[in-house]
Amino acid sequence: MNFSKKDPIVLSVGGSLVVPKEGINVTYLKALRSFIVKQTKRGYRFIIVVGGGRTARQYQEAANALVRLADEDVDWLGIHATRLNGHLLRSIFRDIALHYVVKDPTRKIMWKQKVLIAAGWKPGWSTDYVAVKLAKQYKSHLVINLSNIDAVYDRDPNLDPDAKKFDAMTWKQFRGVVGHEWHPGANHPFDPVASRLAEKQGMTVVVTGKDFTNIDRILSGKTFTGTVIG
């Protein structure tokens, strides 16, 4: 895979990488910062969209223990968690990032910094969808999705050691594996609704894990672990 340095690369970072059940993963954030700084020195620019992680689930579970939450409120709690995580990332990239977290992917911003941080938008739309909207907005044809699982499998590899890993697949094949719907807290390797927009825009999405050496191999055009969808 070859990438133009004139267009930003969009990273959709799973919130559970930033805030797993143990709390904020400072070790991961340190590795993320080191990787991004290194790549910007090579001439790349990045749009980083972050999910809500355990923070979102804690708020949703707490509220749900008291009342039956409306779907819209489940979404809003998740959105605010993504924005808190986004501000955390914006803070650690303060020296090279746009000075605020982008919350509306439909509003075009003229930015010259090396990094743009974005978070949740509005109910009904995942951060994966935000990532695809921003990729469209800034003419990026690549979204790299980072999560706890290193590729797309036909079954959960944490539960089934015989799960089949896909190295490449079409969008139709992808939705055949994960389904067609998304809801707050859904555990998909990539949002099926976002996948339809990505397909329409002719984008490529790489689903991969959290190993930055592997992600460096993606950018360098070398063999890597992950699934190419498109």
Tell me the pairing of strands 168-169 and 165-166: unpaired
**Crossing angle for the helix pair 71-92 and 53-66, to the nearest 10 degrees:** 150
Residue 216 belongs to a domain: yes
CA quadruple 97, 98, 104, 106: dihedral positive or negative? Answer: negative
**Predicted pLDDT at 188:** 74
- In the chain, % of residues over pLDDT 70: 95
| pLDDT averaged over every residue in the chain | 93
Domain total for the chain?
Answer: 1
Q: Say yes or no to pLDDT of 30 above 90.
A: yes
With CA atoms as reference, report the closest residue to 40 among 104, 116, 120. Answer: 116
Neighbours of 27 (CB within 10 A): 8
Q: Say yes or no to pLDDT of 26 above 70.
A: yes
Residue 168 per-residue DSSP state: E
**Number of continuous H segments (helices) and E segments (strands) in the chain:** 8, 9
pLDDT band at 189 (very low <50, low <70, confident <90, very high): confident
Residue 4 belongs to a domain: no
Residue 3 belongs to a domain: no
Contact (Cβ atoms closer than 8 angstroms) between residue 166 and residue 155? no
Neighbours of 162 (CB within 10 A): 8
Higher pLDDT, 2 or 7: 7
CATH code for position 88:
3.40.1160.10
Find tokens 């927009």 and name the residue. 197
pLDDT band at 180 (very low <50, low <70, confident <90, very high): low
Which pair of structure tokens corresponds to residue 155?
Answer: 């079954």
**Predicted pLDDT at 223:** 96
pLDDT band at 225 (very low <50, low <70, confident <90, very high): very high
In degrees, to the nearest 5, what angle opens at C-alpha 27 toward C-alphas 125 and 185? 25
**Predicted pLDDT at 28:** 98
Residue 1 belongs to a domain: no
**Predicted pLDDT at 106:** 95
Q: Which residues have a Cβ under 8 Å from the Cβ of 167 and sit 6 or more positions away?
A: 151, 227, 228
Contact (Cβ atoms closer than 8 angstroms) between residue 194 and residue 186? no
- At 139-155, the pLDDT tens digits run 998 999 999 999 999 98
Residue 63 belongs to a domain: yes
Q: Which domain holds residue 193?
A: 9-229
